[in-house]
Structure formats: C-alpha cells, structure tokens
Amino acid sequence: MKTKLFFSGIAKPGGALISFCENAGWELTQQPLIRFEKLLFTLPENFDVVFFSSPRSVDYFFSENSLNSSCKIACIGSGTAIAIKAINLTPDFIGSNSGNPESVGKEFLEWLGNRTVLFPLAKNSNETIVKNIPDNQKMIVRCYETILVEKTLNQHDTYVFTSPSNVTSFLKSNTFPEKAKLIAWGTTTAAKMREFGLEPIAILNESSEIALVEVLRNI
C-alpha cells in the first residue's frame, strides 16, 4: 500500500517534493487550507530597510509600491529571496535559518544596527521577527489577510504543515489517524501544533522542499 502524504501547500512542478514522491511511490495530496486577500495600506514616508517575511509579502507589497534606490531589502530566507530576485531586485540581508524566525530576528537586529525598518505583514501575522526590533526603529503595514478554508480530507500517513494557519484550519474539520506522523515547516508552525497538544516528529530548519525531502527520507 502506498504511503499517503498530505502537504498543506502547492509543490513546485518538477521540484524536490514531487520528484521524491514519484520515485518513492508515495501518494501526494497538495491542499492549501488558507487563502489570501489583499489589503490597502499607506506607505510610511521614511524608512531605511524593508523586511519581507514571505514571498507573499513581496507580491502584495510591490503590487502597489516601489522603493527608492537607497532603501535596503531584507528577507527571512532563501525562498523569499527568490521572490525578490524574480522582480529584478537584490536582497541585502537573507536570514540563514528561515525555519527558526526567532534566530533570524536576532541575526537581523544585529545587521540592522540603528536603522529603521518597515515590515509588510499579514493582518494576523505572528510577528516573531518584529518583536526583536525596538519600537522606535520599526514600522508595520498590513498588506494582506490570511483566510482559513475549511475542508474535510481523507486520512494520510504523514502530514506536512507549512504554516500555523494551515494547522488551525485543518483541525476545524479533521482529526489525525492514531499513528500519523506530523512535520512542521518551521518553529512557529511547531508551536501552533503544540497549542493543540500535538508533537511534530520533525521541524524544518530551512523552509524548503529540499529540507523537507531530507526529513521524509528518514521517517
């Protein structure tokens, strides 16, 4: 019987996750349990750096705004850096451990120095990195909102959750089989699982399909 894997996102066509499942004979279900809505916001006049915490924040911010050439661009990790480079911009800071936002927050604070930073965030963001920055150095704009999409799913052997919101949304309409294995896409997702009394077997240090496949090979 095929191993059934649930992934609360959309895997990259021809990428590491799909290739692994095809080669291993696993049955992959790709099902995001959240959607997003754009929010209108007013851009502050003066800031030295803008920090992007996800590819989505890049998309929603630049759909309405541009940056002057003196503004530095920072991001949580390599996945978000790819989104920035896709619009012909170059990040000046890339977090080295995107699966652990608290670690990135400390790293970013050291890099930031006494400059001011703008955070384009979701309306219901966890603000893990923001909390590391002194109030007089940070500004926040809410550029999108995360909406839960409840859906009843078939049972799987292994579940990979890519965000805290996907965990919450899943549990509104589903339960886990007794021997299900749970994998968290980073520490904030793991923390949300624990709020519900669930313990992941693995927490990704880097939010990438390559890091996920390394875990899947060893379970």
d(Cα 65, Cα 62) in Å, to the nearest integer?
Answer: 5
Q: What's the pLDDT at 4?
A: 98
Res. 207: pLDDT tops 90: no
Mean pLDDT of the 59-65 span: 93
pLDDT above 70 coverage of the chain, percent: 100
pLDDT at 200: 98
Q: Would you say 151 and 172 are in contact if contact means Cβ atoms under 8 Å apart? A: no
| Predicted local confidence at residue 28, as pLDDT | 98
Domain range annotation of the chain: 4-33+149-216, 36-146
Contacts of residue 86, defined as CB under 8 A and 6 or more positions apart, other chains included, come to none
**98 pLDDT exceeds 90?**
no
CATH architecture of 4-33+149-216: 3-Layer(aba) Sandwich (3.40)
- Residues of the chain above pLDDT 90, percent: 87
Residue 38: how many other CB atoms lie within 10 Å = 12
Alpha carbon 45 to its chain's center: 28
> Same fold for the domain at 4-33+149-216 and the one at 36-146?
yes
Q: Binning pLDDT at 50, 70 and 90, where does residue 64 land?
A: confident
Q: What is the pLDDT of residues 148-166, one digit of tens each?
A: 999 999 999 999 999 999 9
> Which numeric CATH code is attached to 36-146?
3.40.50.10090
Nearest CA-CA partner of 17 in 51, 199, 27: 27
